[in-house]
């Protein structure tokens, strides 16, 4: 098969090696920062429980200081990945540990956490330790300067999917009118110096339209040799701007690291490895059958990567309001959502009523996630019902009472306040009728 032969064609593996090093160091920084900044404490240790993805409620934080050791272990594994030390074991263990964290705490969901999950598992199947690694030094693997073309191509495809859906998701009135960007820039707009630029409507519109065309065109421009260098400069400036403006952790730098896959491997070798001795071997371990199976599996993986972001198109209403199909769909920096919430619990036997205020046990950001996410509201209602059953008060009714504002629209209830959330069922692939229609798109 011609496609299979093309994907197995040997190419210089320098981009994969450089990305392995950058990926490991960025993750080591991320996990270390999470410990030192207090994120581990506020999101995993302090709360009485975490809001896991539905079906994974059994994933809860370790007791005591266990989560500090957990994140410390991930930081150590990340360093081992960067060094290429016991690489296969390190990357598989990190993939498992980080996937558990991702599924365990969704109240702080963001796109770069999801991207790290995907990249970890992709890296777990690639020969990223066959050059400039501890594994080569200890002779655990054969040193080589080559890898199959698909080892690099999969990152280009992944990037193309991310930017395509990021562009499509911007096709909203709130984006092109500059409304969301004005909200996102509000803090910088009030500062004496930055406000001179960020507070200007023309600059906000420039960012809106520039952001859309960047997401839509950056991958084709990086693929075309004539525009690649200039596109990469714009690519780096765009992500550095996002890092300064939005403070979105390692995502901009991880994106810049992904850009290396658009360049010829021989040029990357001359830039980064010119001081090193050339590889002792350029041969590649020949196992066509395993690679063929892996390529087919990658084809299925990318099919799902196309399907998952599109699932929100099949739900009625505004996805930024009802959240149905929002996660894992690359809808980045497109909404500002705030709300308040409390739960009214009624015992139908005694007619006794209780008011439960989540702010007494969760941080303000966690309460905001609870107030603005229908699925988390439903989960919390189920937990409230279970807690009352433990107190020998079975069959209580739970109502979510609150107001939500989307992009500073008039606050209104996100869910029907007359619906007992403790008694309704959750359907993963069906619209929940108890979610209100919300503001118009």
Measured distance CA(270)–CA(135) in Å, rounded? 22
What does the pLDDT read at residue 254?
Answer: 96
Q: Parse the chain into domains and list their residue ranges.
A: 2-313, 336-441
206 token code pair: 């420039």
Is-contact 178 201, C-beta < 8 A?
yes
Measured distance CA(432)–CA(55) in Å, rounded? 17
Is-contact 279 145, C-beta < 8 A?
yes
**Per-residue CA distances from 258 to 115, 155, 178, 395 (Å):** 11, 7, 29, 52
Rounded to the nearest 10°, the torsion over CA 168, 173, 174, 179 is 130
Phi/psi for 269 (5° steps) reads -65, -40
- b/e per residue 216-250 (b: at least 16 CB within 10 A): eebbebbeeeeebeebbebbeebbeebbebeebbb
**Per-residue CA distances from 156 to 69, 114, 222, 393 (Å):** 34, 17, 10, 56
Provide DSSP, 196-213: HHHT-HHHHHHHHHHHHH
- b/e per residue 58-86 (b: at least 16 CB within 10 A): ebebeeeeebbebbeebbbbbbbbbbbbb
Q: Is 149 helix (H, G, I), strand (E, B) or coil?
A: coil
Q: How many CA atoms does the CB half-sphere of 143 hold within 13 Å?
A: 14
What does the pLDDT read at residue 189?
Answer: 85
What does the pLDDT read at residue 432?
Answer: 93
Measured distance CA(73)–CA(376) in Å, rounded? 29
- Give the residue from 182, 241, 234 showing the smallest Cα distance to 208: 182
Provide the residue-wise pLDDT of the chain in tens; the chain has 441 residues: 787 788 888 899 999 999 999 999 999 999 999 999 999 999 999 999 999 999 999 999 999 999 999 999 999 999 999 999 999 999 999 999 999 999 999 987 788 999 999 999 999 999 999 999 999 999 999 999 999 999 999 999 999 999 999 999 999 999 999 999 999 998 888 888 888 899 899 999 999 999 999 999 999 999 999 999 999 999 999 999 999 998 888 999 999 999 999 999 999 999 998 877 667 667 666 677 788 888 889 999 999 999 999 999 999 989 999 999 999 999 988 888 999 999 999 999 898 999 999 998 888 889 999 999 999 999 999 999 999 999 999 999 999 999 999 999 999 999 999 999 999 999 988 999 999 998 765
Q: Which residues pair with 344 in a beta bridge?
A: 355, 399
**292: how many CB neighbours lie within 10 A of its CB?**
14
Is-contact 51 376, C-beta < 8 A?
yes
**275: how many CB neighbours lie within 10 A of its CB?**
5
What does the pLDDT read at residue 277?
Answer: 67
Cβ-Cβ contacts under 8 Å for 405 (sequence gap 6 or more) = 337, 338, 339, 411, 412
**178: how many CB neighbours lie within 10 A of its CB?**
19
Q: In this structure, which long-range contacts are made by residues 200-207, counting pairs with CB atoms below 8 Å and at least 24 apart in sequence?
A: 204/178, 205/178, 205/181, 207/181
Is-contact 336 368, C-beta < 8 A?
no
Measured distance CA(184)–CA(417) in Å, rounded? 30
**Would you say the pTM of this structure is higher than 0.85?**
yes
Determine the number of helices (DSSP H) and then strands (DSSP E) in the chain: 20, 5
């Amino acid at each position: 098969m011609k496609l299979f032969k093309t994907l197995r064609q040997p190419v210089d593996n320098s981009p994969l090696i450089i990305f392995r090093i950058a990926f490991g160091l960025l993750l080591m920084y991320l996990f270390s920062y999470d410990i030192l900044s207090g994120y581990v404490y506020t999101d995993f240790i302090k709360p009485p429980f975490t809001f896991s993805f539905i079906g994974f409620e059994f994933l809860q934080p370790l007791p005591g200081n266990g989560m500090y050791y957990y994140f410390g272990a991930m930081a150590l594994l990340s360093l081992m990945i960067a060094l290429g030390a016991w690489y296969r074991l390190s990357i598989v263990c990190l993939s498992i540990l980080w996937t558990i964290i991702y599924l365990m705490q969704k109240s702080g969901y963001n796109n770069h956490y999801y991207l790290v999950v995907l990249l970890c598992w992709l890296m777990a199947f690639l020969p990223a330790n066959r050059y400039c690694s501890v594994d080569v030094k200890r002779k655990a693997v054969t040193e080589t300067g080559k890898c199959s073309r698909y080892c690099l191509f999969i990152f280009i495809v992944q990037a193309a999917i991310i930017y395509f859906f990021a562009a499509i998701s911007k096709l909203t009135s709130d984006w092109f009118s500059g409304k969301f960007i004005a909200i996102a820039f509000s803090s910088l707009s009030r500062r004496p110096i930055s406000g001179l630029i960020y507070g200007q409507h023309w600059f906000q519109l420039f960012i809106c339209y520039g952001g859309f065309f960047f997401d839509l065109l950056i991958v084709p421009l990086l693929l075309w040799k004539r525009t690649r260098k200039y596109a990469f400069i714009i690519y780096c400036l765009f992500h550095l701007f996002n890092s300064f403006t939005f403070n979105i952790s390692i995502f901009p730098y991880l994106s810049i690291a992904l850009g290396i896959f658009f360049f010829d491997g021989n040029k990357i070798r001359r830039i980064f490895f010119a001081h090193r001795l050339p590889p002792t071997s350029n041969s590649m371990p020949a196992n066509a059958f395993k690679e063929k199976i892996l390529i087919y599996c990658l084809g299925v993986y990318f099919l799902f990567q196309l399907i998952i972001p599109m699932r929100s198109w099949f739900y009625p209403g505004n996805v930024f309001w009802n959240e149905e199909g929002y996660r894992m769909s690359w809808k980045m920096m497109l909404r500002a959502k705030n709300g308040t919430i409390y739960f009214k619990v009624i015992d139908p036997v005694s007619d006794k009523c209780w008011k439960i205020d989540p702010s007494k046990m969760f941080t303000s950001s966690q309460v905001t996630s609870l107030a603005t996410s229908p699925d988390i509201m439903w989960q919390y209602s189920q937990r409230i019902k279970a807690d009352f059953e433990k107190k020998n008060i079975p069959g209580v009714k739970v109502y979510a009472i609150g107001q939500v504002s989307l992009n500073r629209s008039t606050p209104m209830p996100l869910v029907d306040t007359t619906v007992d959330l403790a008694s309704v069922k959750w359907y993963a692939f069906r619209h929940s009728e108890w979610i209100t229609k919300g503001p118009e798109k």
